[in-house]
Amino acid sequence: MSSRHLSHLRGPEVAQALTSSSVLVQPLGAIEQHGPHLPLITDLAVAEAVAEAAVPVAASRGVDAWLLPPIAYTKSNEHAWNPGTIWMSARTMLSVLEDLGRCVAATPVRKLVFLNGHGGNSALVAMANRELRLQYGLETFLAHPSMPADQGGGSAPSELGMGIHGGAEETSLMLHLRPDLVDMSQAVRAVPEHLAENKMVRFGGAVQFGWLSNDFGDHGHIGDPTSANASDGARLFAGAVDAFVDALVEIAAFRHRV
């Protein structure tokens, strides 16, 4: 079979194709505002593109990886102030992930990986992973195309470690993946500099805080997209694919006990 899309299989083929060694990859995106310069589809476009590129490569390295259709609508209520953002409540999304796990558990597959393109989902998916482990016995994993800056990832120097949404990296990725949807004439720097001197209470600090994306300005993004370019995006995309392939190799070999 050349396709690694589970949804491309016909009904009787599922039982033949999937085994207890298979790994299912579920991309998670979002439909949410990303400032005046990026499209609503940004998180979905990145997660889907990385998954589409990585799964065949992982298969060539011996991982029986299969790609599930992406979930576009997720928990994006930090952007609910902007019309066009389409979001699930935390309760609804947990129910969706639980239903997904129930369906996966009805197959021979034991390993389910969420490739999450929206940082606002991370805590909720981590919680769901444990629930799916407890309820269905699945081995569950959470990965990101790139780790968000407020969760330990990096960002451009001009972003002071706080390029978490619509900044240089995301904009560069979209200039590589979907330049037709990016308007760099609308790109402006929007970094909460007043938090930069804080050691604890800041994006990426030890003390987390609740926030909405318009708490720090009217533009709705948090970062500095002005230096973004397609060549950086191509480099970031290649790195994200390579990293996720490596992750899938380790996930396939993962055991809780030896």
CA–CA gap between residue 113 and residue 100 (Å, rounded): 12
Which value, in Å, is the radius of gyration of the alpha carbons in the chain? 18
**β-pairing verdict for 23-28 and 139-143:** unpaired
Residue linked to tokens 């800041």: 202
Could you give the C-alpha distances from 185 to 38, 122, 130, 170, 175, in angstroms and in order?
11, 31, 44, 16, 13
- pLDDT tens digits, residue range 166-198? 999 999 999 999 999 999 999 999 999 999 999
Number of C-beta neighbours around residue 239 at 10 A:
12
DSSP-H helix ranges across 114-229: 122-136, 168-177
CATH topology of domain 6-250: Rossmann fold (3.40.50)
The token pair that represents 83 in the structure block: 């019309």
**Dihedral sign for Cα atoms in the order 244, 249, 255, 258:** negative
Residue 150 is predicted with a pLDDT of 87
Q: Which of 126, 104, 109, 107 is nearest to 28 (CA)?
A: 126
Domain ranges (residues) in the chain: 6-250
- pLDDT tens digits, residue range 56-94? 999 999 999 999 999 999 999 999 999 999 999 999 999
The token pair that represents 104 in the structure block: 């996966």
When the pLDDT of each residue in the chain is averaged and rounded to a whole number, the result is: 96
Residue linked to tokens 């300005």: 217
232: Cβ contacts below 8 Å, ≥ 6 apart: 168, 169, 172
Which percentage of the chain shows pLDDT scores above 70?
100
- pLDDT tens digits, residue range 25-64? 999 999 999 999 999 999 999 999 999 999 999 999 999 9
Q: What is this structure's pTM?
A: 0.96
Residue 95 is predicted with a pLDDT of 98
Does residue 1 register a pLDDT over 60? no
Helix (H, G, I), strand (E, B) or coil at 258: coil
Q: Integer distance in angstroms from the first to the last C-alpha of the chain? A: 32
Residue 2 is predicted with a pLDDT of 77
CA–CA gap between residue 24 and residue 138 (Å, rounded): 11
pLDDT confidence of 152, banded at 50, 70, 90? Answer: confident
Q: How many CA atoms lie within 13 A of 140 on its CB side?
A: 24
- pLDDT tens digits, residue range 120-146? 999 999 999 999 999 999 999 999 999
